[in-house]
Amino acid sequence: MSTGQKEKGRGGLVKLVVAVAVIVVGVLVARHLGLADQLTLENVEKLDAWFRGFGIWAPLIFIGVWVVACVFFLPGLPVAIVGALIFGPIWGTVYSLIGATLGATAAFLIGRYAARDMVEGLIEKNKLLKKIDEGVEKQGWRMLMITRLVPIFPFNAQNYVYGLTKIRLSTYVIVTAICMAPGTIMFNFAAGSIRTGNFGKAFAYIAVAAVVFVILSLIPGWIRKKFGADELLEENG
């Protein structure tokens, strides 16, 4: 093995150790602070008050929480609901989509640049990881669209897995944002209808959420027909 190859290998190992250390420390801190326990639907009111306490900085803090949730595998649904309650369905959707996209991108970059060299061999040993990697090889961005729109693989884990594939960062970011938009709209408008004091607005919000829900329920069938994803959906659905 040449000196260059040895240095490259050591560099990859250092990156992996640093990435793993950061993630482990982040998870431990999150558990110590009780963040995972706080991010539940039962604590929506507390989270609501916490965010409101930041005043004009609340949107940036909210987006930051989304990034942390994506990187450290914390639940995102309560965060989205709190966003809708604090900022309303429209701005809640905007901030959630920005935060979730940035968080997904951060995890993607960690997987690609800090861990890829050391874990590529794991893809061959893991059936699901291999299927995603092979899917990107065959269908490119369509594979990302399939796994984003059909819940066959945990969202937070997907972000890291796609960092190990050959998909381009720009493609990943664009497709991720587009495919997350329907679900984000649905949850935010459904939650936003709770606090509005206007019956007409509440009804309109619920109507929007219902329409998006119907559309999302039809997507798996459309994907099967359009992209021939029967095997993927049947084995993991």
In the chain the first and final C-alpha atoms are separated, in Å, by 44
SS3 2: coil
pTM: 0.74
Closest by Cα among 118, 98, 89, 102 to 195: 89
Q: How far is CA 56 from the centre of its chain?
A: 25
**Contact at 8 Å (CB) between 141 and 167?**
yes
DSSP assignment of 111-123, as one string? IIIIIHHHHHHHH
pLDDT in tens, 73-106: 787 888 888 888 889 899 999 999 999 999 999 9
**Contact at 8 Å (CB) between 206 and 190?**
yes
Could you state, in order of their start, the residue ranges of all structural domains in the chain? 3-236
pLDDT-above-70 percentage for the chain: 65
Closest by Cα among 153, 146, 135, 144 to 175: 144
Q: What is the DSSP letter of 201?
A: H
How far is the C-alpha of 211 from the C-alpha of 54, rounded, in Å?
A: 34
State the average pLDDT for the chain.
75
How far is the C-alpha of 16 from the C-alpha of 117, rounded, in Å?
A: 8
pLDDT in tens, 166-223: 899 999 999 999 999 998 998 888 887 776 667 777 778 888 888 887 887 777 666 6
